[in-house]
């Protein structure tokens, strides 16, 4: 029986009752989680938090006295706080952009392998999208089979990672005014890998020394992620696995099953999760699950790969990034299959408390103590079946007396791709634009990004989402930020009752929730495409739209890149967790103010989600006024 102290501690860590129940268990049974590890880290290093610690070379590590009273104001090489903060920020952001874009590259490579008949189990599902992307690239589609077209599309995309082509096709999706803004600011990316490598070159000692120039290169690098690698991941994911359409499903820890083999898929790349989804349909494996005493196989998603499975197929989603240890702590997971990104190395230790097997699949991400089954496109379906078999054979090892699965899954309506939203509106954005012009909807906000143990899980995301819809601002959510809203019931059409009168009437007329789930973090590309298409229909730039972005519980380097490419696309963006820039007043001023002169938007930090809503509403009102609406 949990003590009152344990209960109170769990309530401080997460909003969701089911999460609290499992957090109590981890505390009571001494199963270590990220929350415990954060406690052991406190107080965290002030120099690091302010971004003024430079650990790049062997003349260091150096640190700058942020108050300039007694300590040093320069590192050994002469770098001051402005330079150290800017370089650290760029190195983090380049890491995030690389992660997104390398994921994108792997989806493109699977598309190529599939087109060449060299993959095992993949098919081209969305020919309409394939053809429309091919047309953008100037690829002939008439009289050609889809494989030949796909081969050309994938090859042209792969060229955009390197240095020969020197442009990224999808940048042209933006309105001309926005494209001109990028050219004028000198931040139009030349290639995806090119800008990431350039960023890492600039942070080497003795290269970039002008903090403004460094932050502008952050914009360039992040744009190559948002409009490049992440957009390719999204579009090629749709071509291979289908473009999402609205559908119903369920969310939270209660989606795990008491009597089926539970397989959790955690990470980011759908090339793994989609094939495991195919494998669990295999009749022999279904039969094996019954033979082992289970009632079937229950596949559930976690964090971003879970978002993609949910959007495309309605596969239930167990929780966001921070739930990964709690999911194992239910004692009901036979196998946790992971690829990469946002996977705690500690899950192997969590799994040791139960019978769960951790299966890693990417050469990039092996964990000591996990089972490594390398996933390659040429043997994907075969490997997926082997992995599922490992999970099924582990079912008899489950100790049913130790299983603790909460009771109530939350229903959700998801699957709002840019295409499905446009279709729902009757083929054009006109009805949405009319609602914005009339003021029924004041604007839209992308609530994106993570959960972070420094913030009570889901509090920042849910509070901001509720606050925005109350103010007649439509929420477009992705990543773990979306999952918070889903668990709180905001992805149900009934949640329209929580919205202001204008937004409520639009949601009711269309039968949609006031929070539209648009997918995983790379699928922020869907928000960019939607913004671009609305701006083009209005004949303005993205920077003119009443739009904003927010990441109330940001943790990840990928999130830095997202925040920067939102802002660099002209979308004011607020982080709820302090960025590591406050050690430099100049960098802070540039990013929160002067950057608007270059990209039409700024970044802000506001931990209080209600105050963040105030900031966002003010920007939206300002943009509406400028548009004359």
The CA distance from 386 to 415, in Å, is 30
What would the two tokens of residue 226 be? 């948002």
What is the closest distance, in whole angstroms, from the C-beta atom of residue 56 to ligand BF8 in the complex? 24
- Judged by CB under 6 A, the stretch of 83-91, 206-214, 540-548, 553-561 that binds ligand BF8 is 553-561
Task: For residue 332, give Cα distances in angstroms to 35, 327, 328.
Answer: 22, 8, 7
- Minimal distance, residue 449 CB to ligand BF8, in Å: 5
Say how far apart CA 589 and CA 292 lie, in whole Å: 62
Specify the residue, 9 or 558, whose C-beta has the smaller distance to ligand BF8: 558
Q: Helix (H, G, I), strand (E, B), or coil: what is residue 163?
A: coil
Task: Provide, rounded to whole angstroms, the least separation between the CB of residue 322 and ligand BF8.
Answer: 8
Q: How far is the CB of 315 from ligand BF8 (least distance, A)?
A: 16
Among 521, 571, 604, 616, interactor with ligand BF8 by CB under 6 A: 521
Answer positive or negative: Cα dihedral of 538, 222, 154, 278.
negative
> Does 479 participate in binding ligand BF8 (rule CB under 6 A)?
yes
Q: Which of 547, 298, 360 is nearest to 445 (CA)?
A: 547
Q: Least distance (Å) from ligand BF8 to the CB of residue 283?
A: 33
Report the residue number, 520 or 564, with the smaller CB distance to ligand BF8.
520
- From the list 620, 422, 417, the residue with the least C-alpha distance to 534 is 422
Near ligand BF8 by CB under 6 A, which window of 137-145, 290-298, 503-511, 555-563? 555-563
- Minimum distance from residue 282 beta carbon to ligand BF8 (Å): 28
261, 303, 347, 506: which one contacts ligand BF8 (CB under 6 A)?
A: 303
**Closer residue to ligand BF8 in complex, CB, 288/480:** 480
**Residues paired with residue 302 on neighbouring β-strands, in sequence order:** 266, 319
Asked if 517 touches ligand BF8 (CB under 6 A), the answer is no
Site string for ligand BF8, 82-121 (x = CB under 6 A): ----------------------------------------
Q: Within a 10 A sphere around the Cβ of 538, how many other Cβ atoms?
A: 17
> Hey, how many other C-beta atoms are within 10 angstroms of the C-beta on 307?
30
What is the signed CA dihedral for 279, 281, 284, 288, rounded to 10 degrees? 90
d(CA 629, CA 625): 6
Q: Give whichever of 85 and 342 is closer to ligand BF8, judged by the CB atom.
A: 342
Between strands 473-478 and 443-447, the pairing is parallel
Q: How many residues does the chain have?
A: 629
C-beta closer to ligand BF8: residue 477 or 535: 477
Helix (H, G, I), strand (E, B) or coil at 456: coil
Interface with ligand BF8 (CB under 6 A), residue from 342, 567, 601, 619: 342
Is residue 559 a contact point for ligand BF8 (CB under 6 A)?
Answer: yes
DSSP per position, 53-76: EE-SSTT--EE--TT-SSS-SS-T
Residue with tokens 């830095």: 560
Check residue 571 for interaction with ligand BF8 (CB under 6 A). no
CB of 425 to ligand BF8, least distance (A): 27
The mark string for 253-292 relative to ligand BF8 (x by CB under 6 A, - otherwise) is ---------------x------------------------
Closest separation between CB of residue 453 and ligand BF8, Å?
11
Residues 445-474 contacting ligand BF8, CB under 6 A? 449-450
Contact between residue 119 and residue 236 where contact means Cβ atoms under 8 Å apart: no
Residue from the set 188, 256, 384, 480 that interacts with ligand BF8 by CB under 6 A: 480
- 317 or 506: CB nearest ligand BF8: 317
- CA dist 622 and 545 (Å) reads 10
Is there a contact between 276 and 241 (Cβ–Cβ < 8 Å)? no
Q: In the complex with ligand BF8, which residue's Cβ is closer, 88 or 307?
A: 307
How far apart are the C-alpha atoms of 497 and 493, rounded to whole Å?
9
Tell the burial category of 11 from Cβ atoms under 10 Å away from its Cβ (0-12, 13-18, 19+): middle
Minimum CB distance to ligand BF8 smaller for 79 or for 94: 94
What is the size of the binding site for ligand BF8 (CB under 6 A)? 15
Nearer of residues 337 and 521 to ligand BF8, judged by Cβ = 521
CB 522 to ligand BF8: min, Å: 7
Task: Please enumerate in sequence order all residues whose Cβ is within 8 A of that of 481, keeping only pairs 6 or more positions apart, or say none.
Answer: 447, 448, 449, 450, 461, 465, 550, 551, 552, 553
Which of 321, 333, 388, 412 touches ligand BF8 (CB under 6 A)? 321
- Which helix or strand (DSSP H or E) is residue 477 part of? strand 473-478
Contacts of 268 (CB under 8 A, 6+ apart): 103, 303, 304, 305, 339, 340, 341, 342, 520, 521, 522
The nearer residue to ligand BF8, 211 or 344, going by C-beta atoms, is 344
Q: Which is nearer to ligand BF8, 370 or 449 (CB)?
A: 449
Is 231 a binding residue for ligand BF8 by CB under 6 A? The answer is no
Which residues in 392-451 contact ligand BF8 (CB under 6 A)?
449-450
Stretch that binds ligand BF8, among 115-123, 234-242, 346-354, 552-560 (CB under 6 A): 552-560
Q: Is 396 exposed, middle or buried (0-12, 13-18, 19+ CB in 10 A)?
A: exposed
Of positions 556, 561, 568, 573, contacts ligand BF8 by CB under 6 A: 556
Q: Which is nearer to ligand BF8, 178 or 573 (CB)?
A: 573
CB nearer ligand BF8, residue 342 or residue 548: 342
Q: Interface with ligand BF8 by CB under 6 A: which residues?
A: 268, 303-304, 320-321, 342, 449-450, 479-480, 520-521, 556, 558-559
């Amino acid at each position: 029986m949990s003590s009152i102290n344990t209960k109170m501690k769990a309530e401080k860590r997460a909003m969701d009752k089911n999460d609290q129940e499992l957090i109590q268990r981890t505390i009571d049974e001494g199963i270590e989680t990220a929350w415990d590890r954060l406690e052991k880290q406190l107080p965290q290093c002030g120099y690091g938090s302010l971004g003024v610690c430079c650990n790049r070379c062997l003349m260091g590590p150096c640190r700058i006295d942020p108050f300039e009273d007694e300590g040093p104001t320069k590192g050994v090489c002469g770098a001051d706080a402005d330079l150290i903060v800017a370089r650290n920020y760029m190195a983090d952001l380049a890491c995030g952009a690389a992660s997104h874009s390398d994921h994108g590259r792997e989806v493109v490579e699977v598309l190529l392998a599939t087109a060449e008949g060299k993959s095992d189990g993949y098919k081209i599902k969305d020919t309409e999208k394939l053809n429309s992307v091919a047309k953008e690239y100037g690829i002939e589609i008439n009289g050609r089979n889809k494989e030949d077209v796909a081969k050309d599309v994938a090859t042209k995309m792969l060229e955009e990672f390197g240095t020969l082509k020197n442009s990224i096709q999808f940048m042209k999706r933006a309105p001309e005014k926005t494209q001109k803004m990028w050219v004028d600011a000198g931040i139009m990316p030349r290639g995806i890998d090119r800008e990431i490598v350039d960023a890492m070159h600039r942070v080497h000692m003795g290269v970039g020394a002008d903090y403004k120039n460094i932050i502008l290169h952050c914009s360039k690098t992040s744009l190559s992620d948002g409009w490049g690698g992440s957009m390719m991941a999204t579009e090629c994911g749709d071509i291979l696995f289908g473009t999402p359409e609205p559908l119903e499903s369920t969310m939270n820890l209660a989606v795990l099953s008491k009597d089926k083999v539970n397989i959790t898929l955690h990470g980011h790349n759908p090339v793994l999760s989609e094939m495991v989804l195919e494998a669990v349909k295999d009749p022999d494996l279904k039969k094996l699950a019954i033979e082992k005493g289970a009632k079937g196989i229950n596949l559930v998603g976690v964090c971003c790969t879970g978002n993609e499975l949910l959007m495309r197929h309605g596969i239930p989603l167990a929780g966001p990034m921070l739930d990964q240890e709690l999911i194992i702590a239910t004692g009901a997971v036979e196998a946790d299959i992971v690829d990469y990104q946002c996977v705690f190395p500690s899950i192997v230790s969590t799994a040791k408390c139960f019978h769960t097997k951790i299966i890693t699949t990417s050469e990039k991400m092996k964990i000591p103590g996990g089972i490594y089954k390398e996933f390659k496109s040429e043997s994907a379906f075969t490997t997926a079946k082997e992995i599922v078999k490992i999970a099924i054979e582990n079912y008899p090892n489950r100790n049913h007396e130790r299983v603790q699965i909460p009771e109530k899954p939350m229903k959700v309506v998801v699957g709002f791709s840019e295409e499905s939203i446009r279709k729902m509106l009757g083929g054009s954005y006109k009805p949405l634009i009319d609602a914005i012009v009339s003021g029924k909807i004041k604007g839209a906000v992308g609530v994106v990004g993570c959960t972070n143990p420094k913030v009570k899980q889901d509090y920042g995301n849910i509070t901001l989402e509720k606050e925005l819809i109350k103010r007649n601002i439509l929420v477009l959510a992705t990543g773990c930020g979306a999952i918070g809203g889903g668990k709180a019931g905001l992805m149900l059409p009934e949640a329209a009752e929580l919205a202001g009168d204008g937004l409520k009437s639009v949601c009711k007329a269309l039968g949609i929730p006031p929070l539209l789930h648009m997918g995983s973090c790379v699928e922020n590309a869907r928000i960019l495409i939607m913004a671009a298409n609305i701006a083009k229909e209005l004949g303005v730039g993205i920077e003119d739209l009443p739009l904003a972005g927010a990441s109330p519980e940001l943790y990840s380097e990928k999130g830095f890149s997202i925040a920067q490419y939102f802002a660099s696309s002209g979308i004011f963006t607020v982080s709820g967790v302090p960025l590591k820039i406050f050690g430099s007043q100049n960098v802070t001023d540039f990013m929160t103010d002067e950057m608007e002169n270059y990209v039409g938007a700024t970044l802000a930090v506001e931990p209080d989600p209600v105050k963040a809503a105030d900031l966002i509403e003010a920007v939206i009102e300002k943009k509406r006024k400028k548009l004359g609406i």
